[in-house]
Amino acid sequence: MKKFVLLLLLTSSPAFAHAKLVGYDPAANASVKSPTMIKLKFSESLEPAFSTASLSDSAGKILPVPKSVGGATITLLPIGLKPGAYHVNWQAVGHDTHKLSGSFVFKVIP
Amino acid sequence: MILGAARGVYYVATMLLFGGSAFETLLRAKLPVITPLRWQSLRWAVLILALLAALAWLGLAARQMADRLDGQILARTATDTLFGQIFLLRLVSLLGLTLLMTFRRCRKLAVALAALALALPAATSHAAQASPAGFIAIGATLDGVHLLACGFWIGGLAVLAMLFRRKEPNIHLALSLFSDGAIVAVMLLVMTGLINAASILLGHGTPAPLYLGVLGTKLALVAVMLGLAAINRFRLMPRAYDSMIPRNAALELGLGLTVVMLAGALGHLQPVL
C-alpha cells in the first residue's frame, strides 16, 4: 500500500486543479513569420462548450479565424497574417467548471 | 461563495441520505432487537434539500462558466459539459430514490442510489483533474471513496443521535456496530484525503494561502472529531454506557457537518497559484 501511495505521489503530473495555460506557440512577444497555426496548451482537459480563443490585430479588430478545442488544447488556424502585432485572448473552462482567461501578444514579421 | 455553499449543502444532504440509510440497513440486518427508526419525514426533507442544492449548483456553475444565465446556457451546461452530464446522472439517482421512498421499497437499492448521488461529483473534482498522468479515473475514484467514507461516518452519527434521543435501551449494541464500521470509514477517509491533498497541492506553483487556510481549518476540525471518536470508542464505551457519549457524538456530528461545508468551499477555491 505504501508503495502504491508513493508511486501515485511521484508520478503526479503538474497539478493546478484549474485549467491554466502551460504552453503556447507562437510564444508571447515572439516575432515570427506568418503562422498558419496558433496552439494553446492547458494544464487539464477543457470543456469545449465554454472554452475559446480569439485573434485580434493591433487595432483591436477580431479576425475571423477557424478554431477548435480538443482535450487540453485550443487551436487557431489563421491564414495570411500581415506583418504587425496580434493579440490572442483565451478563456479556458476545466471539467471542475472553473474559468480562467488571459491574453498574449506576438508579432508577425515580413 | 454561494456556489461553495450550494456544493456544501448538497454534500451534507447526500451524506445524511447515504450514511443514514446505510447504517440503518446495517442495524436492521445485524440488530433486529432494535426497533427501526421512524425518520421518514426527515429523510424527505433531506432529499428535497439535496435536489434543491443540486439545481442551485447547476445554475451557479453555468453562470460561472458563461458569465450569464439563461435557459440556453443552462441547457448547454447540462448536455455539453462533463459536469452537466454528471448532474443529470445525479438527478436520475435522486429521482430514483424519491420513487423508492414513495413506495417504501428496496432499501439496499436506495442505499446504492444515495451512494451514487453522493460520489458522482467526484468525477469533476479537483482531485480528478489533478490525477497522475491525466488519468481522471484515479483521482475521481479516490475522491468518491473519500466522500462515501465521510458519508457513512456523518450519516451513521445522525442515526445514533436519533437513537439517543428516543433513549434506545440497546444503544450500546448500536454504538458497537457503528464503531466497527466507522473505524474502517475513518481509515479510508484519512488515507484518501492525504493522497488527494498531495496530488492537488504537489504541482508546479505555490499553494494558494486561502486554500491552505480553509484546508488547515478543515483538518484541525477533523482532528478534534477523531479525538472525540477515540474517547468514545476506547474510554467511554468499555464502561457499557456513559452519559458523555451522546454529548460527544452530537459534538462530533456538528463538527462533521461544518467540515463538509468547508469541503464544499474548498471545491470552489483555486488550490495553486
Report the number of secondary-structure helices (H) and strands (E) in chain B: 10, 0
Residue A45 pLDDT exceeds 90: no
**Beta carbons of B134 and A45 less than 8 Å apart:** yes
- Put simply, whether B205 touches A (Cβ < 8 Å) is yes
Q: Which of B7, B60, B65, B194 should we substitute to test contact with A (largest number of A Cβ atoms within 10 Å)?
A: B65
Half-sphere exposure (CA, 13 Å, Cβ side) for B102? 7
Q: Please report whether residue A72 resides in a domain.
A: yes
Quickly state the pLDDT bin for A3 (edges 50, 70, 90).
Answer: very low
Identify whether A11 is part of a domain. Answer: no
CA torsion angle B145 B147 B149 B150 (round to 10) = 160
Q: Which chain B residues contact residue A96 at CB under 8 A?
A: 83, 124-126, 128-129, 267
**Domains of chain B listed by start with CATH number:** 2-266 (1.20.1630)
Closest CB to B82 among A13, A16, A95? A95
Q: Does any domain span residue A84?
A: yes
Does the beta carbon of B216 lie under 8 angstroms from any beta carbon of chain A?
no
Model confidence over A12-39: pLDDT tens digits? 333 445 778 888 889 989 999 999 999 9
Q: Is B198 on the interface with A (CB under 8 A)?
A: yes
Closest CA to B35 of B44, B43, B23, B27: B27
Q: Does B273 touch chain A (CB under 8 A)?
A: no
Using a CB–CB cutoff of 8 Å, tell me whether B128 touches chain A.
yes
B219 and B212 in contact (C-beta within 8 Å)?
A: no
Q: Between chains, do B81 and A96 touch, taking CB under 8 Å as contact?
A: no
pLDDT value at residue A96: 87
CA dist A71 and A45 (Å) reads 5
User: Is the residue at A78 inside a domain?
Assistant: yes
pLDDT of amino acid B241: 57
How would DSSP label each residue in B216-238? HHHHHHHHHHHHHHHHIIIIIGG
From the list B66, B200, B204, which residue is nearest A17 (CB)?
A: B200
Chain B positions in Cβ-Cβ contact with residue A97 (cut-off 8 Å): 61, 64-65, 81, 83, 124
Q: In whole angstroms, what is the distance from residue A95 CA to residue A48 CA? A: 10
Which SS3 state, helix, strand or coil, does residue A103 take?
A: strand
B81 at A interface, C-beta within 8 A:
yes
Measured over the CA atoms of residue B73, residue B76, residue B81 and residue B85, the dihedral's sign is: positive
Identify the residue among A41, A45, A98 best suited for mutation to test binding to B, counting B beta carbons within 10 A and taking the highest: A98
Domain count, chain A: 1
Contact A14 B267 (CB under 8 A): no
Buried b (16+ CB within 10 A) or exposed e, B163-200: bbeeebeebeebbebbbebbeebbebbebbbebbbebb
Query: Rounded to whole angstroms, how far apart are CA atoms B30 and B271?
Result: 43
Residue A103: inside a domain:
yes
Walk along chain B (273 residues) and give the pLDDT tens digit of each residue: 789 899 999 999 999 999 999 999 999 999 988 888 888 889 999 999 999 999 999 999 999 999 999 999 999 999 999 999 999 999 999 999 999 999 877 889 999 999 999 999 999 988 888 877 668 889 899 999 999 999 999 999 999 999 988 888 888 899 999 999 999 999 999 999 999 888 888 765 788 899 899 999 999 999 999 998 888 888 777 776 567 788 888 899 999 999 999 988 888 888 877
| A42 located within any domain | yes
Predicted pLDDT at A13? 38
CA dihedral B6, B11, B116, B202 (to 10 degrees): 100
A106 backbone dihedrals φ, ψ, rounded to 5°: -135, 165
Which ipTM was obtained for this model? 0.76
B15 neighbors B151 (Cβ within 8 angstroms): yes
In a domain, A7, yes or no: no
**Which residue did the predictor score with more confidence, A40 or B34?**
A40
| Predicted pLDDT at B204 | 55
For residue A51, being part of any structural domain is answered with yes
Distances (CA, A) of A63 to A69, A88, A108: 18, 10, 15
CATH of the domain at A105: 2.60.40.1220
Which range marks the domain in which residue A50 is found?
17-109
